[in-house]
Amino acid sequence: EPEVTQTPSHQVTQMGQEVILRCVPISNHLYFYWYRQILGQKVEFLVSFYNNEISEKSEIFDDQFSVERPDGSNFTLKIRSTKLEDSAMYFCASSDPGASYNEQFFGPGTRLTVL
């Protein structure tokens, strides 16, 4: 069964450093998303991406964040200058807008630890 993959599984970085989190969505999906989950809290939407542009973003997704689809398979989330409060699990998801409910399928996540 096709699945979303993410790398790395765990990233440790110093405050102020840039990080890039990588995702390979399911191959025939056209919508891509990033969510995050701070430890002990609920999953929160960051951004959705369709047709090579951002379709929606949350208040969390400020100028420090950017997304890119650099090639036909990868989807990346960049955090330019990490803060302590960016420490969280980051989940990538993808969906097929042709499916009746546009169900989203999640990758295993990248645990980001900012020191």
Partner 1 sequence: RKEVEQDPGPFNVPEGATVAFNCTYSNSASQSFFWYRQDCRKEPKLLMSVYSSGNEDGRFTAQLNRASQYISLLIRDSKLSDSATYLCVVTGDSSYKLIFGSGTRLLVRP
User: Which residues in this chain contact partner 1 in the complex, by CB under 8 A?
Assistant: 31, 33, 35, 41-45, 48, 55-56, 58, 89, 91, 93, 95, 97, 100-109, 111
CB of 103 to partner 1, least distance (A): 6
Structure tokens that stand for 98 in this block: 């042709």
Output 14 or 41, the one with its CB closest to partner 1: 41
Distance of CA 114 to the CA centre of its chain: 17
CB of 15 to partner 1, least distance (A): 23
CB of 88 to partner 1, least distance (A): 12
Rounded CA-CA distance 91/75 in Å is 12
Give me the phi and psi of 53, to 5 degrees please. Answer: -150, 160
Output 82 or 104, the one with its CB closest to partner 1: 104
Q: Residue 19: what residue type?
A: V
Rounded CA-CA distance 8/23 in Å is 9
CB of 80 to partner 1, least distance (A): 23
Output 15 or 38, the one with its CB closest to partner 1: 38
Question: Taking Cα atoms as reference points, which of 5, 18, 7 lies closest to residue 86?
Answer: 18
